[in-house]
């Protein structure tokens, strides 16, 4: 399963719900405002740390760059649009809108 | 052929009435029900409010969808599930859930089935497509 999250964890519990339903081996991709969760040292960083125990976590580079996010929660990988397409090709996707 | 039937899940995570998502989602479910698909519907997060019984939208001046939800079984949508944690986090119990139809033989009312998050996650993993509303 691929889970995409596009909401800020500081305004919305979407990321928490996503992590609750994500299973071991699933992939979580942070896009749009979802990438704000990846900022190192943020007050909600335990969410991604928990997710990283069981899932691979990616953030979309274009969204990181647009928001000047360079220092990320350790373990979060960066992907690009073509990587996004590959992930969608490889998995059934649930968009946590 | 059975193996060609697509498994399609609808997840409903938005609350009803504030936006049109839940209404639109219901429309899509009814359309999809006309095709040969294995359809399931899961209410999670604020979506659980969409299946709370007693909704009355008369004073809002909108039709509402409680009656349509009451006929899901008639549309052959019988796999209707509610995430227990989402329901309990919002102060709801199984008694708060609306009826989605009745058993053909016994005429017993049918309600959505309450499941644990892990059970829902396992079902999600089996789908061909998941549509989120």
Percentage of the residues of chain A whose pLDDT score is greater than 70? 100
pLDDT at B67: 86
Backbone angles phi, psi at A20, to 5 degrees: -65, -35
Backbone angles phi, psi at B90, to 5 degrees: -100, 15
Structural domains of chain A ordered from first start:
2-96 (3.40.1260.10)
How many residues make up chain B in this entry? 133
Q: Find the closest chain B residue to A14 by CA distance.
A: B45
pTM (two decimals): 0.91
The C-alpha atoms of residue A76 and residue A48 are separated, in whole angstroms, by 8
Over residues A59-67, mean pLDDT: 96
How far off is chain B from A75, nearest CA to CA, in Å? Answer: 23
The C-alpha atoms of residue A55 and residue B108 are separated, in whole angstroms, by 42
Kindly determine whether residue B132 and residue A92, on different chains, have CB atoms separated by under 8 Å: no
């Amino acid at each position: 399963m691929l889970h995409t999250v596009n909401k800020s964890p500081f305004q919305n519990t979407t990321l928490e719900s996503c992590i609750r339903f994500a299973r071991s081996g699933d992939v979580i991709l942070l896009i749009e405002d979802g990438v704000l969760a990846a900022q190192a040292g943020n007050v909600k960083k335990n969410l991604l740390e928990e997710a990283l125990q069981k899932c691979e976590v990616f953030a979309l580079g274009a969204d990181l760059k647009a928001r000047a996010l360079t220092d990320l929660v350790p373990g979060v990988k960066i992907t690009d649009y073509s990587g996004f397409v590959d992930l969608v090709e490889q998995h059934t996707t649930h968009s946590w809108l | 052929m059975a193996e060609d039937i697509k498994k399609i899940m609808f997840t409903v995570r938005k609350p009803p009435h504030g936006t049109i998502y839940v209404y639109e989602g219901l429309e899509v479910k009814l359309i999809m029900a006309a095709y040969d698909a294995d359809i399931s519907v899961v209410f999670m997060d604020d979506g659980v409010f969409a299946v709370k019984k007693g909704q009355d939208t008369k004073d809002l001046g909108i039709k509402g969808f409680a009656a349509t939800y009451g006929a899901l079984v008639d549309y052959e949508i019988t796999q209707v599930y509610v995430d227990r944690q989402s329901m309990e986090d919002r102060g709801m119990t199984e008694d708060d859930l609306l009826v989605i139809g009745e058993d053909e033989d016994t005429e017993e009312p049918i309600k959505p089935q309450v499941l644990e998050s892990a059970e829902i996650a396992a079902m999600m993993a089996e789908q061909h497509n998941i549509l989120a509303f």
